């Protein structure tokens, strides 16, 4: 319920500039920013990776720029992409293929397809066929979490990627370099955490759409530039005069891969929901705690993935603790409820849902679920749903 139309949170001045930059990077579906970055030095190489998680440290250490390919959003017109996928497959791969066949991924020197689902997996084969001259690798993440088994396998995968990127850049990945990269990314994740903390405390300062754009910027910009951007934003936004609205606090789960359009996030907020935690672009903060900066850096990365990463539908929940973690997190961020939003036709997310719902029901946490696709253009239904959800909590309070 809203008493009056919520005022548009307009960012002005330097804050406005930061958002505008993030927005323009987000809209840069031709990856011009990457081409510009490469143009500054002939030896530079960019490696595109698909959602969800890829240890960017390794690419960084090999002197490459890791670039997230998160789909074409609602900005890509699908002309040929549809001819590669049946109607019952999610939207992301069509826009990615569209970007590929229309030449908009030409600035990428290689592609990594992390193992998150069969669609991404098969997409790696399609890239191999369509781009035989590029480095295309299916990056298999272990589902066994013993260091002598999954760990060893994972390190071999990391080394194979490092080797391939090094061969392009001429920069070998030494342990020393890798440790340095870990440090740089740790700084980034600290900046990310600070922003997230602020958002949890004062969500009206950090609108979902802005937060999201900043996350996306991190998948395009060189890491130190992104860290600086985050820090500056976090500082400035605390000095702004943004005021709180009569909104409820919600947490989002299920959006780890195909991304919702930004307009959808705005719709949610307008319907009375502050997003205090989510799993959008989850790879950008998949390992929330700093990774060990000393010792064997390869093992450190493996250990971080296997034991310190966030839960995701694509990773086997060996300890059977996904439900508990979800409920704990809701409490930790003091969310009034949970939005389970999943991409249409996304098997991992949708098969996860009944389990998450069960857990929330058990814990007495309100939730609602809906599907979206990256090019969803009609928000009425979602607005109604989120609005009703917010109404119920506002009229009756949390449970």
Partner 1 sequence: MTISAGIDVGSGAVKVAIMGVEGGVEKILGSYLERIRRRNVMDVVDESFESALRDAGVRRDQLAYIATTGEGDLIPWRTGHFYGMTTHSRGALYLDPEARAAIDIGALHTRAMRFNEAGRVLQYQMTSQCASGSGQFLENIARYLGVSIEEIGPLSLNSDNAEKCSSICAVLAETDVINMVSRGVSTPNILRGIHNSMAVRIAGLVRAIKVEGVVLMTGGLARDAGLIAALQDKLKDGAAKLAVRGHELSVYAGAIGAALWGAFRHDKLTHQEASSGGT
Partner 2 sequence: MTTAIKDASQDRQKTMIAEHFGKLSRAKEDGRKVVYTFVPGNLTELLLNFDLLPVLPEINALQSGMRGKTGDYIQLAEKSGHSEDVCTYVKADIGMLKSGNIGPTGEKLPDPDLLLLSYTGCFTFLKWFELLREEYDCPVVMLHVPYQGDGKITGEMRDYVVGQIRDVLIPELEKLSGKKFDEDRLREDLKRSAKAEDDLVWVLESAKHKPSPIDAYFGGVYYIGPIFTSFRGTEDAVDYYQLLRGEIEERLAQGLGPITPDGVMEEEKYRIVVEGPPNWTSFREFWKMFHSEGAVVVASSYTKVGGLYDRGFRHDPDDPIGTLADYSMGCYTNLNLPDRIDLLEKYITDYDADGFLINSVKSCNSFSAGQLLILRELEKRTGRAGGFIESDLVDPRYFSAANIKNRLESYFQMIEAKRTKG
Partner 3 sequence: MECYIGIDLGSTTTKAVILDAEGRIVGRGITNSRSNYDVAAQVAKQEAYTNARFEMLSRILRDETGVDKEERESLESHLTAAYAHECFLGQLSRLEQHCRTDLDNPRFDDDRRELLQSVEVIMQGIREHAHRNFQPSATARSDFFRDIAGAAFIDVAAEISRGGGPAFDKLVGMFDRNIIPVENEQETRSFSELLTAAYGRLPDGLRSSVAGLPDTLKAVADTPMEEVRTVGTGYGRVRLPFPKDCIRSEILCHGLGAHLMFPATATVLDIGGQDTKAIQVDAQGVVTSFQMNDRCAAGCGRYLGYIADEMNIGLHELGPLAMASKRRVKINSTCTVFAGAEFRDRLAAGQEREDIVNGLHRAIILRAMSLLARSGGIKNEFTFTGGVAKNPAAVRALREVGEENYGELILNIAPDSIYTGAVGAGTFAMRDVAAGVGANQEAA
Q: What is the C-alpha to C-alpha distance for residues 399 and 397, in angstroms, rounded to an integer?
A: 6
b or e along 98-114 (b: 16 or more beta carbons within 10 Å of the residue's beta carbon)?
A: bbbbbebbebbbbbbbb
Q: What is the C-alpha to C-alpha distance for residues 268 and 21, in angstroms, rounded to an integer?
A: 23
Q: Of the two residues 116 and 217, which places its CB atom closer to ligand SF4 in the complex?
A: 116
Site for ligand SF4 in 132-191 (CB under 6 A): none
**Paired residues of 336 in beta bridges:** none
Record the tokens describing residue 31, joined without a space.
């990856």
Residue 129 — φ and ψ, nearest 5°? Answer: -75, -40
The 40-79 contact track toward ligand SF4, x by CB under 6 A, reads ----------------------------------------
The 10 Å Cβ neighbour count of residue 162 is 24
Q: Of the two residues 140 and 347, which places its CB atom closer to ligand SF4 in the complex?
A: 347
- Site membership for ligand SF4, residue 22 (CB under 6 A): no
Q: Measuring CA to CA, how many Å separate 30 from each of 1, 75, 94, 168, 220?
A: 40, 11, 15, 22, 12
- Site membership for partner 1, residue 266 (CB under 8 A): no
3-state secondary structure of 322: helix
- Site membership for partner 1, residue 385 (CB under 8 A): yes
* Strands (E) located in 131-234: 135-139
Q: Of the two residues 158 and 281, which places its CB atom closer to partner 2 in the complex?
A: 158
Record the tokens describing residue 237, joined without a space.
């936004």
| Cβ–Cβ < 8 Å for 252, 264 | no
Q: Given the structure tokens 């195909």, which residue do they identify?
A: 258
Q: Of the two residues 305 and 372, which places its CB atom closer to ligand SF4 in the complex?
A: 372
Q: Which does 289 bind (CB under 5 to 8 A by kind): partner 2, partner 3, ligand SF4, none?
A: none
Interface with ligand SF4 by CB under 6 A: which range of 114-122, 127-135, 161-169, 320-328? 114-122
Q: Of the two residues 118 and 384, which places its CB atom closer to partner 1 in the complex?
A: 384
- Site membership for partner 2, residue 125 (CB under 8 A): yes
Interface with ligand SF4 by CB under 6 A: which range of 15-23, 163-171, 283-291, 344-352? 344-352
Q: What is the C-alpha to C-alpha distance for residues 227 and 346, in angstroms, rounded to an integer?
A: 32
The 10 Å Cβ neighbour count of residue 254 is 26
- Site membership for partner 1, residue 226 (CB under 8 A): no
| Cβ–Cβ < 8 Å for 124, 97 | no
| Cβ–Cβ < 8 Å for 84, 24 | no
Measured between its terminal Cα atoms, the distance across the chain in Å is: 17
Identify the residue among 95, 181, 186, 368 touching partner 1 (CB under 8 A): 368
Residues found near partner 3 in the complex (CB under 8 A): 74-75, 77-83, 102, 375-378, 380
Query: To the nearest whole angstrom, how small is the minimum distance from the Cβ of residue 84 to partner 3?
Result: 8
- Site membership for partner 1, residue 391 (CB under 8 A): yes
Site for partner 2 in 27-86 (CB under 8 A): 83-86
- Give contact residues for partner 1 (rule: CB under 8 A): 1-5, 271, 368, 370-371, 376, 378, 380-381, 383-385, 387-388, 390-392, 395-396
State the residues that interact with ligand SF4 by CB under 6 A: 90, 92-93, 116-117, 119-120, 257-258, 343, 346-349
* Residues in contact with partner 2 by the rule CB under 8 A: 83-86, 88-89, 93, 113, 115-119, 121-126, 128-130, 137-140, 142-144, 146, 148-150, 152-153, 156-157, 313-314, 316-318, 320, 342, 344-348, 350-355, 357-358, 371
């Amino acid at each position: 319920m809203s008493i009056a139309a919520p005022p548009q949170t307009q960012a002005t001045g330097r804050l406005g500039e930061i958002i505008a930059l993030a927005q323009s990077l987000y809209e840069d579906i031709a990856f011009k920013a990457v081409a510009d970055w490469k143009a500054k030095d002939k030896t530079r190489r960019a490696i595109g990776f698909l959602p969800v998680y890829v240890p960017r440290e390794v690419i960084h250490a090999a002197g490459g720029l890791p670039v997230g390919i998160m789909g074409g959003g609602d900005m890509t017109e699908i002309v040929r992409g549809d001819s590669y996928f049946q109607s019952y497959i999610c939207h992301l791969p069509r826009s990615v293929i569209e970007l590929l066949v229309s030449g908009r991924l030409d600035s990428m020197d290689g592609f990594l397809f992390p193992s998150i689902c069969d669609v991404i997996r098969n997409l790696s084969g399609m890239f191999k066929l369509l781009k035989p001259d590029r480095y295309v690798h299916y990056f298999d993440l272990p589902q066994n979490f013993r260091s002598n088994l999954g760990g060893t396998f994972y390190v071999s995968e990391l080394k194979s990627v490092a080797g391939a990127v090094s061969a392009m850049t001429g920069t070998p990945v030494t342990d020393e370099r890798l440790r340095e990269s870990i440090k740089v990314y740790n700084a980034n994740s600290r900046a990310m955490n600070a922003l997230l903390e602020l958002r949890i405390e004062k969500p009206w300062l950090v609108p979902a759409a802005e937060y999201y754009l900043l996350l996306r910027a991190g998948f395009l910009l060189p890491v130190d530039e992104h860290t600086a951007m985050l820090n500056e934003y976090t500082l400035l936004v605390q000095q702004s005069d943004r005021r709180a609205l009569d909104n409820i606090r919600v947490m989002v789960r299920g959006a780890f891969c195909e991304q919702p359009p930004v307009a959808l996030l705005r719709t949610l907020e307008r319907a009375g929901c502050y997003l205090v935690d989510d799993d959008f672009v989850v790879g950008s903060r998949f390992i929330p705690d700093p990774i060990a900066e000393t010792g064997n850096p390869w093992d450190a990365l493996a250990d971080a993935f296997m034991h310190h990463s966030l839960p995701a539908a694509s990773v086997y929940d060996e300890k059977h603790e996904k439900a508990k973690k979800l409920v704990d997190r809701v409490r930790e961020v003091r969310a009034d409820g949970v939005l389970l939003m999943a991409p249409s036709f996304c098997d991992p997310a949708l098969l996860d849902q009944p389990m998450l719902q069960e857990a929330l029901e058990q814990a007495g946490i309100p939730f609602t679920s809906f599907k979206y696709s990256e090019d969803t253009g009609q928000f009425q239904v979602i607005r109604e749903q989120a609005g009703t959800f917010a109404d119920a909590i506002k009229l009756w309070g949390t449970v």
